[in-house]
Amino acid sequence: MTPTISCTDLEVTLPGASGAVNILAGVNLSVAKAEFVSILGTSGSGKTTLLRVLGGLLPATGGEVRCDGTPIQGPPDGVVTVFQDYAHSLLPWRTVRRNVALGIEARLGRAERDERVDEALTMVGLLERADEYPWRLSGGMQQRVQIARALATRPRVLLMDEPFGALDAMTKASLQDQLQQVQSLTETTIVFVTHDVEEAVYLSDRLVVLNGSPADIGLTLDIPLPRPRHQISTKERADYLELRHRVYEALGHTVGEPARG
């Protein structure tokens, strides 16, 4: 089967303070339709860089990125990136509804646009806040607006860069479950960057760990935990704990040592 999004022998070199720096080298990743793949790695390992290249926001220096089998040049249709920084992603002078409409208003008529916006806001549980301004909402709600904006475009691929990184544990858990539910309804392909090992194991079908300098994929781990997953019962399973343990080890932690970023 043709993967929805893939990269082969990917290499990325970026300008550094003292010359070009090779950030990624020999990265091979292939993500199937409706698959949920997380990317982990220590700070500065190249996760955001990899996501930007997969989304066509940054050109590869070597190798190839394909979407549905076709080499990409710029952001492919149907591939949407959600960033961590929700506060700067929403337009304060537009209501929630009009923020969510942003990605579709140029190409859809009013009736279809309204229907899509309502559908997306319902999926993230914010339909009743549609006519408010985003700055009146909590951080978690603002992030849900950003996610609704991405969903309104009916993306085939969602690329998410630490989307819940700035949120408290309760809000994070509830957004993880909403994302899980939305994905099972829409069969969106999701590539999800996170620092949070528990989050990656909980949400993913497969996770990869970037390491080295330049970085490549050091560990690939299938997560065969049954779905739907539950915040308490899934995290009590012996196989969940075993998978979590393996990821911590791949990130360089040993038992008894405090976590390093």
Ligand X SMILES: Nc1ncnc2c1ncn2[C@@H]1O[C@H](COP(=O)(O)OP(=O)(O)OP(=O)(O)O)[C@@H](O)[C@H]1O
43 binds, among Mg ion, ligand X, none (CB under 5 to 8 A by kind): ligand X
Tell me, what amino acid is at 261? G
Chain residue whose CB lies nearest Mg ion: 48
244 binds, among Mg ion, ligand X, none (CB under 5 to 8 A by kind): none
Q: Least distance to ligand X from the beta carbon of 46, Å?
A: 4
Interacting residue with ligand X among 4, 6, 38, 48 (CB under 6 A): 48
- Nearest Cα neighbor of 203 from 45, 74, 39 is 39
Of 23 and 130, the one with the shorter C-beta distance to Mg ion is: 23
Of 83 and 133, the one with the shorter C-beta distance to ligand X is: 83
Q: Least distance to ligand X from the beta carbon of 50, Å?
A: 7
Of 44 and 71, the one with the shorter C-beta distance to ligand X is: 44
User: Distances in Å between the alpha carbon of 108 and those of 76, 95, 102?
Assistant: 19, 19, 11
DSSP assignment string, 117-173: HHHHHHHTT-GGGTTS-GGGS-HHHHHHHHHHHHHHT--SEEEEESTTTTS-HHHHH
User: What is the total count of residues that contact Mg ion (CB under 5 A)?
Assistant: 1
46 binds, among Mg ion, ligand X, none (CB under 5 to 8 A by kind): ligand X
Strand ranges (E), the chain: 5-16, 19-31, 36-40, 62-67, 70-71, 79-82, 157-161, 189-193, 206-211, 216-222
Whether the CB-CB separation of 255 and 261 falls below 8 Å is answered with no
User: Distances in Å between the alpha carbon of 258 and those of 48, 168, 215, 248?
Assistant: 25, 21, 23, 11
Sites for Mg ion among residues 33-72 (CB under 5 A): 48
226 binds, among Mg ion, ligand X, none (CB under 5 to 8 A by kind): none
Lay out the site mask for ligand X across 179-218 (x = CB under 6 A, - = otherwise).
Answer: ----------------x-----------------------
- Nearest Cα neighbor of 175 from 86, 110, 67 is 86
Sites for ligand X among residues 8-27 (CB under 6 A): 14-16, 23
163 lines the binding site for ligand X (CB under 6 A): no
Interacting residue with ligand X among 4, 6, 38, 45 (CB under 6 A): 45
Locate 128 and state its tokens.
């009743």
Whether the CB-CB separation of 90 and 99 falls below 8 Å is answered with yes
Which residues here bind ligand X, judged by CB under 6 A? 14-16, 23, 41, 43-49, 195
Which residues here bind Mg ion, judged by CB under 5 A? 48
